[in-house]
Amino acid sequence: LLDAIGWVQERDLAEQRLLEPACGDGAVLVPAARRLFRSARAWGRRNDEARLAECLVAYEIDSATVEAAREKVAAALTKEGARRSMAKTLAKHWIRQGDFLLQRHDAPFTHVATNPPYLRWSRIPTRLRNLYEREVPRYAARGDLSLAFLQRSLELLSIGGCCSFLFPDRWLRSQYGE
């Protein structure tokens, strides 16, 4: 996913912003953070904590999973040579506990990469489904929750930005996919 959108350490990633709207325990975020730190080291920005703090934004709804992701990210950064205190601070800043679809976002992002939740719209609890339907356009509030994640992510993407989602292909064959 990261290679597909050009989130590669050979670029000056400290000049970019990546959004991970459903980070889980960090399957996409950990490699993204590693690449960011390697890029920062190569471009002489490794100690610019304030700048690096603005480069990644990730959401996860479950508090235990947030903590697991923060630990994994901090460990990866420490292994790359970051001070432990800096690694922990960045991980805490980057990973936000909350429902991506219900949050206000500090856009734009140059990159989006995620493996979004796949949940049929009809299986979302009614109260939550009603909240989502107020937040996303009608066409995105159908079929599968991952479509709402895609729609919202594209809204937050800067002009010329790159987006990479890991999707099952079933939505391409459905009415809401059209």
SS3 at position 20 = strand
> What pLDDT score was predicted for residue 174?
64
Return the number of other C-beta atoms located less than 10 Å from residue 50's C-beta.
7
Residue 69 · residue 26 · CB < 8 Å? yes
Q: How many CA atoms lie within 13 A of 94 on its CB side?
A: 34
Give percent of the chain above pLDDT 70.
Answer: 95
Residue 110 · residue 18 · CB < 8 Å? yes
> What pLDDT score was predicted for residue 170?
67
- pLDDT band at residue 139 under the 50/70/90 scheme: confident
Cα dihedral sign for 168, 173, 177, 178? positive
Name the residue with higher pLDDT: 79 or 135.
Answer: 79
Q: Does 178 score more than 80 pLDDT? A: no
> What pLDDT score was predicted for residue 118?
86
133 CB-near residues (< 8 Å, 6+ apart): 141
Residue reference for tokens 């325990």: 25
